[in-house]
């Protein structure tokens, strides 16, 4: 092949890729995507998530970021001489621990993400789930002894609609409020799912430190690209989905049950994984859907 022919072939391939990307961008303009940013990613500038979020907002998509901060909370507890305690994977949150949880989530973690987004050229606003009664919650009673751990009973997303309508990228800390206006510690995966359903989001994307859901088959580790809700439940029963992946899958299933068309579990450390998952047919992680088309 001549140099001219090779160059023409390269231009054709690149042009087709750009055209396909633009079609997806146009299709997604004006839609809302809720993205859960894992606490394991907060301690480092991982992948290209921040730049990709700013690019999405610039393209007319409305990304809403919901974050936790478990590792950072544990570090602060230990720094203050307290031992983090968990029951069935949930943090025991007495009144003093709740003060630290809110300090980390609504303060340090939230404003770190806001600052990174602004530095990347975005217009970011940080919120707590207490702001404008965004997340109303009640104390979780099962398992007992958790203290100020809450479960969401109502979402009031008006503040999100107001701020995204004028071009702001929202960063939401997973703290709720009870009937007296006092804070409750929320699971960030569940908060993201509840918000995605309340907003009528087109997708929920859970960013974590793994590429998706895997299964061992014939001695090889296989990434499961698409799962229906029923298939995900079956894999949970088999023990294929286990450990820290369970709350992520449960959040994805809750979003689907709330009317969100699809939920995705992808790596926040892989460069441009967020854009690939949104704007290509193949994606790069695991997509959960109600049923196979």
For the question of residue 36 being annotated catalytic, the response is: yes
Catalytic pick from 38, 126, 248, 268? 248
Beta bridge mates, 138: 151
* DSSP code at position 132: G
Catalytic pick from 36, 38, 212, 283? 36
Catalytic pick from 47, 69, 70, 212? 70
What is the CA angle 266-129-57, rounded to 5?
50
For the question of residue 39 being annotated catalytic, the response is: yes
- CA neighbours within 13 Å on the CB side: how many for 18? 6
**Distance of alpha carbon 95 from alpha carbon 184, whole angstroms:** 10
Contact predicate 122/53, CB 8 Å = yes
**Distance of alpha carbon 270 from alpha carbon 250, whole angstroms:** 23
> Token pair for residue 278?
């949104």
**Distance of alpha carbon 210 from alpha carbon 68, whole angstroms:** 17
For the question of residue 248 being annotated catalytic, the response is: yes
Catalytic pick from 47, 129, 176, 189? 189
Catalytic pick from 38, 39, 68, 126? 39
**Distance of alpha carbon 41 from alpha carbon 8, whole angstroms:** 41
For the question of residue 111 being annotated catalytic, the response is: no
For the question of residue 70 being annotated catalytic, the response is: yes
The residue to which tokens 């992948």 are assigned: 47
Residue 114's CB is within 10 A of a number of other CB atoms, namely 19
Nearest CA among 45, 167, 159 for reference residue 112 = 45
Angle 188-199/158-165 helices, nearest 10 degrees?
70
Q: Which residues are catalytic?
A: 36, 39, 70, 189, 248
């Amino acid at each position: 092949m001549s140099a001219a022919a090779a160059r023409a072939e390269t231009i054709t391939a690149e042009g087709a890729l750009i055209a396909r990307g633009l079609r997806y961008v146009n299709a997604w303009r004006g839609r809302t995507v809720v993205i859960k940013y894992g606490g394991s990613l907060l301690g480092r500038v991982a992948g290209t998530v921040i730049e990709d979020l700013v690019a999405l907002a610039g393209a007319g998509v409305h990304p809403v970021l919901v974050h936790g901060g478990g590792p950072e909370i544990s570090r602060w507890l230990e720094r203050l001489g307290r031992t983090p305690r968990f029951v069935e994977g949930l943090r025991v949150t007495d009144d003093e621990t709740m003060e630290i949880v809110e300090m980390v989530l609504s303060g340090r973690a939230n404003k770190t993400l806001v600052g990174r987004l602004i530095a990347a050229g975005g217009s970011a606003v940080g919120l707590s789930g207490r702001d404008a009664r965004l997340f109303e919650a009640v104390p979780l009673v099962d398992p007992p002894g958790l203290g100020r751990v809450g479960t969401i009973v109502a979402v009031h997303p008006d503040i999100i609609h107001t701020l995204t309508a004028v071009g702001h990228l929202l960063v939401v800390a997973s703290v709720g409020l009870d009937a007296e206006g006092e804070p409750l510690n929320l699971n960030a995966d569940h908060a993201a799912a509840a918000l995605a359903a309340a907003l009528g989001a087109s997708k929920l994307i859970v960013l974590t430190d793994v590429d998706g859901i895997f299964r061992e088959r014939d001695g090889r580790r296989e990434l499961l690209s698409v799962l229906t809700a029923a298939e995900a439940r079956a894999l949970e029963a088999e023990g294929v989905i286990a450990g820290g992946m369970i709350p992520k899958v449960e959040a994805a299933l809750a979003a689907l049950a709330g009317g969100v068309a699809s939920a995705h579990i992808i790596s926040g450390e892989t460069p441009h994984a967020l854009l690939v998952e949104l704007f290509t047919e193949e994606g790069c992680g695991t997509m959960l859907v109600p049923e196979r088309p």
